[in-house]
Amino acid sequence: MEILVKFKAKSLLLTTFLASMLLASTVINAESLPIPAPPSFDASSYVLMDFGSGAVLADHNSNERVDPASITKIMTAYVVYKSLEAGDITLEDQVEISEYAWRSIGSRMFVEVGDKIKLEHLMLGLIIQSGNDASIALAEHVAGTEQAFADVMNAQAKRIGMKDSHFVNATGLPDTDHYTTAYDIALLSRAMISEFPEEYKRYAQKEYTFNGIKQFNRNRLLWRDSAVDGIKTGHTEAAGYCLAASAIKNDMRLISAVMGTDSDKARTVNSQALLNYGFRYYESHKLYKAGEVLAQQRMWKGESKSIQLGLDKDLFVTIPRGRYEDLKADMDINAEIVAPIQQGDQVGVVKVTLKGENYLEQSLVALQSNPEGGLWRRIVDFFVKLLF
């Protein structure tokens, strides 16, 4: 893969990097294959997304609002994990079961009013057994009431970028004001896996026994495909049968969200078809690591004469299988970088092309702050610049 570095007029290059960057990735030498149309099947909507890049590989009405049913509980768990991360609660907390939680309809973990259940057990009841009683008990423990918890769910949805979702409960029970999209569910699943990789491992657990009752994970893909390690099913009469799934093969992770099929079998088979399609015809590569120094550029009027440049997040590409050698990367750096500059300030872009066509670009940023230098430094740089 060829790597180029471009600088805008008047820029002075101190050192260039990129010589070994993408060569560290494994080059796929397989013959490039034509990409057929993705699977098509009867469902309200669906999407297939690459975890690393966020690229959409298959789509059908993925931005259409639908009833999420118990897939809602991905967000319920996500909010609980955010509270754990913040230190507001712990897995050891004893959560008292309210009558409201106990009276919840639908799937249950079979807790009783007044029981004090370890929060970690309730999380397993939510994730594996899809217990509505566990969901409400957790919501009340985190936010006081389920409605207050729903407000937090909506705030997190906005932060993640879920533009077409709104939650009014922690369970997914039908409500006209409770909706999401296949695309938003894929975004949420991506956030869950990325931010809480250790906690996400619970989604691969096939069964859980509580109160002497063994219940099984409803995600049948966990039994069909060893590459699948999550994530959540949903079903109500209004929503149909839904499944958000994720699988990883050879360091490539895919996420599918299938909404509104007519049976458990359909959501399973069709989700499998989407994942198989993605793994068969696409490959994903991490081209640049966040924080890695890609270039060191001349710094004018700063305390330091140079500044290190890179990315503030990993840069992934998802491409048709066998096309890795057709990729090229350029860095386009601002002509002049003048102090003061803060870490994270944009100073250019990294552009990736595939066979000469623009494929993606990402901001090139300062990896360190460089305040304005003293008077003597500024005077010297003023006259040095006149020579260029």
Judged by average pLDDT, the poorest of 15-19, 166-170, 274-278, 363-367 is 15-19
Residue 111 pLDDT greater than 80, yes or no: yes
Q: What is the pTM of this model?
A: 0.86
Domains of the chain: 2-21+292-386 (2.60.410.10), 45-283 (3.40.710.10)
Burial 232-254 (b: 16+ CB within 10 A, else e): bbbbbeebbbbbbbbbeeeebbb
Q: Pick the catalytic residue from 44, 53, 70, 256.
A: 70
32 in active site? no
130 in active site? yes
pLDDT tens column, 274-323? 999 999 999 999 999 999 999 888 887 777 888 899 999 999 999 999 99
Cα distances (angstroms) measured from residue 101 to each of 134, 140, 216, 231, 267: 7, 9, 21, 24, 29
For residue 327, what are the β-bridge partners? 354
What is the rounded CA–CA span in Å between residue 298 and residue 296?
7
10 in active site? no
Cα distances (angstroms) measured from residue 120 to each of 80, 116, 169: 11, 12, 21
Judged by average pLDDT, the poorest of 85-89, 229-233, 276-280, 333-337 is 333-337
Sign of the alpha-carbon torsion through 202, 159, 341, 387? positive
Decide which of 334 and 191 is more confident.
191
Q: Pick the catalytic residue from 44, 45, 73, 135.
A: 73
pLDDT tens column, 226-277? 999 999 999 999 999 999 999 999 999 999 999 999 999 999 999 999 999 9
Q: Pick the catalytic residue from 130, 135, 165, 284.
A: 130
Non-local CB neighbours of 26 within 8 Å, separated by 6+ positions: none
pLDDT tens column, 16-30? 333 333 323 323 333
